[in-house]
Amino acid sequence: MGLKDTLLSILGQATDGAKDLAGKAAVVTRDVAGKAADKAKAGGRIAKLSMDIAKEKEGMKKTYLEIGKLYYDTHKDDPEGFFIQLCEEIALAEKTVAEKEAELAELKSGFNSADKDIEVEFEEVVGEAEAEAEGCCCDAAEEVKDCCCDAAEKAADVVDEVKDCCCDAAEKAADAVEEVKDCCRDAAEEIKDALDGE
């Protein structure tokens, strides 16, 4: 076999090796990119599902309250089991509310709109009641906020995983490029050796 044939054979082997390594690097990079995309989709779905679950649980709480109210309205005169104590507590609260409403109505009937001091006190009482109601809403808002924060943290974790996958793919591609370089160097040395041998 002549020098030219030897050189062409060595160069062909180096080219084939480089093509194989480049192909492997492309496949690895595609696989990792696909996995990263899948994880990103899963992260978005996790966040949406977490929010949907929180919404459904809030709806369930409202339904439970309605069921409890309906049960009380239906069985307040003849409760059974542990419902007896609960119904008694509600009846006592209703009595207290009725007494306070009667007192409030009496005070309102004697209320003189020209007397600013009384008007101010009434507004303070109403303001306090509104503040209490707002506190309840803030508590519910805080629960929703916590749920959304949890979903955001899960999404951030998925993003970190995707980032790690992409870094791994870049490292594997860099390793493949180094292998191609080494293969080309080896081929060049073989060519040089073959040339020096003649």
Quick one: pLDDT at residue 38?
83
Considering the domain boundaries, does residue 69 fall inside one? yes
Domains of the chain: total? 1
Confidence of residue 24 (pLDDT cuts 50, 70, 90): confident
- Asked whether residue 89 is domain-assigned, the answer is yes
170 assigned to some structural domain: no
In a domain, residue 29? The reply is yes
Decide which of 124 and 40 is more confident. 40
Question: Is the pLDDT score of 169 beyond 70?
Answer: no
Whole-angstrom distance, CA of residue 120 vs CA of residue 143:
35
Which residue range(s) make up the domain with 12? Answer: 3-165+175-197
Task: Quickly tell me which residue has 């966040």 as its tokens.
Answer: 47
**What local confidence, expressed as pLDDT, does residue 114 receive?**
45
Task: Give the global pTM.
Answer: 0.39
Residue 28 to residue 142: CA distance in whole angstroms? 45
- 110 lies in a domain? yes
Q: How confident is the model at residue 40 (pLDDT cuts 50, 70, 90)?
A: confident
Taking residues 84-94, report their average pLDDT: 91
Structural domain contains residue 136: yes
Report yes or no on 83 lying in a domain.
yes
